[in-house]
Chains A and B, each alone.
Chain A
């Protein structure tokens, strides 16, 4: 997808479009999803769905809470000496050697305590919430489908075409992904093996406007798309390659990721790939503290960890690391207390993973706090809204303007720095334009601020949500140019703050979230 084609597309479709608002005042967006201002043109997002509700506490283990975890889940807990420490406070499940390796290389981050307000513990409703990016039951579209819809209102009629020869998204396997459900059709194309060519019979048909007619047209369109997309996918798979020796052929997730690498390297312009792994609904036989070989969770985590490590290795060998980031998601975490079946019941928030060279690596957000005494059915409280993770990835990775991102979500979006470390040119641009960069954000302790200052006096301070100054960092003369300044936030309560830098010319302001 070239920039000039984008301009052409806008010219064709910028007229006022029909758009279901769902009462949120979402508006038709005149710009398309991927505003390729700087380098986003070839970027790809890979999402791995861990279906069933992954037990975050058995995946990313808060080492500083271990004693209290023992009180609640001693039957299933990993012995302390078996845990893979990645920081002094955080450890990974022993089967996650591959992901620990990525973490050590700065290619993996953990976003802690991700969920949404008033957690719904039904698999079905909660997965709907995660895939739609909305808490509104009337929202039937996926969060990506909503965006694709906004500039492709007629899809699937007329697609593929010269401007969009490739699928917008690919769902690996035999199901399309709900994240890409649009009004009229799903924007994802199901691919089980891109090496297989397709050439299906395309019959003639008439849509008589009835339910039947609509279905006939739908099936006919799928057949046409299957042929068209099938050809370009097959061609990409033929042109592409996979170089890593780390893929385990018995690991189905790894095989699917290998296909993804093959399609990307073969030049397919698909922006989103969605994969799924089931089995995480571990009500029973999840793990056994007395027998580390027992239980199903260890195998699931090994599958995920090995597959992601192999994929990242492949991207490195293929020279594609700068083009791909990935994330995992699951409909909820599980309860803190284990049940009598060596399992865990449906819970609330959980960590998710981001991977790639362009992500903000490290542990984002504090460990959950495990009390010694818990109410019945207690889960982990959410601190970071998953919709903000989506929104931040759209902003950081696909460089969608923040106002457009906000229009996709009903809640007030809180942006975090999650996937912008490759945006060097963008960063320079931002600094040149007189804004500042604050990182990490959210932060457990302190932040660095990077700012382009004119020669002369400038003052920096931190204000709380009510505007009261809580810290003054500097008030001094600066030379002209970019300065990186450390701003200590230790000792401050968790919450939202504003970092303010003023000089004679203007005032810069950036929201900072402290989480502890």
Chain B
């Protein structure tokens, strides 16, 4: 198998697979829309990143801007206590906003690619919500752009400088933290240790030299009452002006003093190594296709993706185009090979049932915060990656995405389903519970029990379910009655759309079906 273009028939099955992998839970209509396009148009449609409105103030701790206004370019209060309360309010706003974006996802890959890069760089919340926002927006807006430029931009971003101590790395006192992760996790990757301090692709000398090259930066304006943004400063007296030597892995290249431009020169040298493309493309493959890098994938798939990345000077868009239009991506053997992350678990429940939170400003943010904490309880604390390497489910062999599932987290997954679809989740006086009626009405043939279950399985389960499971679901929908009874019940509802006597039973049966689906092992995969 190589990356030959997909040559089969473009059907709903392929469309659903593509959307499950590139979004946080597609809707039935989105699958229809994508299935009705050509594959090329569909992929091109998905490979876009739009603009987003910034997060809004909603919490009483925000004392600088008015409720409903954005704080992303605002000062902080000078009083230390108010300053802290304001930061807490902004963190809550930013966190809720990140969840809102996943809930209001456009029909494109942008939220998934954002997640990819956020996992790739692994930076946790900085101490200034404005800096965190700017950093995360850098990742999102650049997510389909040039990888080399993104690495450069991240390197001197205030939030990253703080996160990996680049802001205290000086000629007087080198701090290796960023220099090490730049090589190990962000660009070339660490290979086997083949000699003392030699990790196949770089050595401890490169880490030490990198720290010198990257010395001289400070961050100012953190939670400032006089500066509207965190800013990166380069100070020559803090910079190591010596000529740095890299190891034989970089052809013993030397990096001459170039002051504030030196980091970019160094990153250019790193990106001359083709291993960078292999490293990035392997990570992409694991994120979007399958954890298992088989011999065939290693020999035929990854090198071709890497070649495309290099040929396009590290623009990532052509790589994604090639991947998502390939025969390999749609291989039935690879369907359902990834276990849903906690966010995919929750947002598929919401997004695929067309549930968008829209109560009022403060309640919406509070609901999103609760969703955020639910995901954190299942192992995905989005704003605080498990480590700078990201979440283990994306890189730790041999279990990979299975690491999302254990006795604690599976119980939580089930509890969320019960809360959203059966009991409701009380949040600030509002009860969050999915209304399944609009969802049902948008399916292809709501009056047919068989068709409803077919649509639900297509939406939530990556491979056809076995007949016994399908029959179980039909029986839940019909309450073990013949299927025509469902048809009658649904038609009575259509004739009495405002009468609870007819609406509620229909709504409830669909709730029960979805609750069951989300507790099936088969649901846990995409």
Contacts and interface: CB of A to CB of B under 8 A. Distances in A.
Given A118-B193, A181-B399, A190-B407, A201 B168 contact: no
Interface string A205-242: 11010111001111110110110011000000000000
Nearest to B291: A211
Given A120-B199, A181-B399, A343-B175, 4 more contacts: A175-B403, A201-B414, A218-B405, A377-B208
Contact of B405 (A191, A219, A343): A219
Contacts of B398: 140, 181
A203 B337 contact: no
B337 A215 contact: yes
15 contacts: A123-B389, A124-B389, A175-B392, A181-B398, A192-B408, A200-B411, A203-B469, A206-B466, A215-B521, A216-B336, A222-B406, A222-B407, A339-B168, A340-B173, A340-B175
B172 interface: yes
Q: 5 closest pairs, A vs B, by CB?
A: A340-B173, A212-B336, A211-B337, A341-B168, A219-B521
Contacts of B334: 211
Of the listed residues B378, B395, B399, the one surrounded by the most CB atoms of chain A closer than 10 A to its CB is B399
Contacts of B521: 203, 205, 215-220, 223
A55 interface: no
Interface of B: 164-165, 168-170, 172-177, 180, 184, 190, 192-193, 195-197, 199, 204, 208, 290, 292, 332-337, 339, 377-379, 387-389, 392, 395-399, 401-403, 405-411, 414, 462-463, 466, 468-469, 472, 516, 519-522, 524-525
A123 B407 contact: no
A385 B438 CA distance: 63
Contacts of B169: 340
Interface in A68-99: none
A339 B173 contact: yes
Contact of B468 (A137, A204, A211): A204
Interface string A116-138: 00101111110000000000010
A420 B339 CA distance: 44
Contacts of A422: none
Given A200-B519, A339-B168, A122 B180 contact: yes
Contact of B410 (A122, A186, A226, A376): A226
A121 B184 CA distance: 11
Contacts of A376: 208
B190 A191 contact: no
A420 to B, nearest CB: 34
Interface in A163-205: 173-176, 178, 181, 186, 189-192, 198, 200-201, 203-205
Contacts of A205: 466, 469, 520-522
A76 to B, nearest CB: 12
Contacts of B409: 174, 190
Contact of A215 (B196, B339, B378): B339
Of the listed residues B195, B379, B411, the one surrounded by the most CB atoms of chain A closer than 10 A to its CB is B411
B520 A191 contact: no
A230 B407 contact: yes
B333 A211 contact: yes
A343 B378 contact: no
Contact of A212 (B193, B292, B525): B525
A283 B177 contact: yes
A327 B332 CA distance: 47
A211 B336 contact: yes
B157 to A, nearest CB: 17
A428 interface: no
Contacts of B379: 174-175
Contact of A203 (B172, B335, B519): B519
State the majority secondary structure of interface residues on B: loop
A189 B406 CA distance: 7
Nearest to B409: A174
Contacts of B405: 218-219, 222
A178 B469 CA distance: 34
A120 B519 CA distance: 42
Contacts of A203: 469, 516, 519-522
Contacts of A230: 407
Contacts of B170: 340
A174 B472 CA distance: 31
A142 to B, nearest CB: 11
Of the listed residues B170, B177, B195, the one surrounded by the most CB atoms of chain A closer than 10 A to its CB is B177
Contact of B175 (A140, A222, A229, A341): A341
A212 B463 contact: yes
Given A123-B389, A220-B521, A340-B168, A345 B410 contact: no
Interface residues on A, range: 35 or more
Contact of A343 (B165, B195, B335, B407): B165
B408 A173 contact: yes
Nearest to B193: A120
Interface of A: 118, 120-125, 137, 140, 173-176, 178, 181, 186, 189-192, 198, 200-201, 203-206, 208, 210-212, 215-220, 222-223, 225-226, 229-230, 283-284, 339-341, 343, 345-346, 376-377
B402 A215 contact: yes
A225 B411 CA distance: 12
A124 B192 CA distance: 12
Of the listed residues A189, A198, A201, the one surrounded by the most CB atoms of chain B closer than 10 A to its CB is A201
A116 B196 CA distance: 12
A392 B395 CA distance: 31
Given A212-B337, A215-B336, A216-B521, A222 B387 contact: no
B172 to A, nearest CB: 6
Nearest to B198: A118
Contacts of B469: 203-205
Nearest to A209: B333
B406 A175 contact: yes
Contacts of B168: 284, 339-341
Contacts of B196: 118
A191 B408 contact: yes
Contacts of A341: 165, 168, 173, 175
Of the listed residues A190, A217, A343, the one surrounded by the most CB atoms of chain B closer than 10 A to its CB is A190
Contacts of B525: 212, 215-216
A20 B397 CA distance: 15
A222 to B, nearest CB: 6
Of the listed residues A181, A192, A217, A219, the one surrounded by the most CB atoms of chain B closer than 10 A to its CB is A219
A291 to B, nearest CB: 17
B290 A211 contact: yes
Nearest to A173: B408
Of the listed residues A339, A346, A376, the one surrounded by the most CB atoms of chain B closer than 10 A to its CB is A339
A225 B406 CA distance: 9
Contacts of A181: 398-399
Nearest to B339: A215
A20 to B, nearest CB: 11
Given A118-B193, A118-B196, A203-B520, A189 B407 contact: yes
A219 B399 CA distance: 12
Given A339-B168, A339-B175, A191 B407 contact: yes
Nearest to B211: A345
Contacts of B177: 283, 345
Contacts of A186: 399, 406
Nearest to B398: A140
Nearest to B406: A190
Contacts of B197: 118
Given A198-B411, A200-B414, A219-B410, A176 B403 contact: yes
B231 to A, nearest CB: 19
Contacts of A178: 396
A234 to B, nearest CB: 12
Nearest to A228: B407
Contacts of A210: 332-333, 335-337, 463
B469 to A, nearest CB: 7
Nearest to B464: A208
B410 A346 contact: no
Nearest to A338: B173
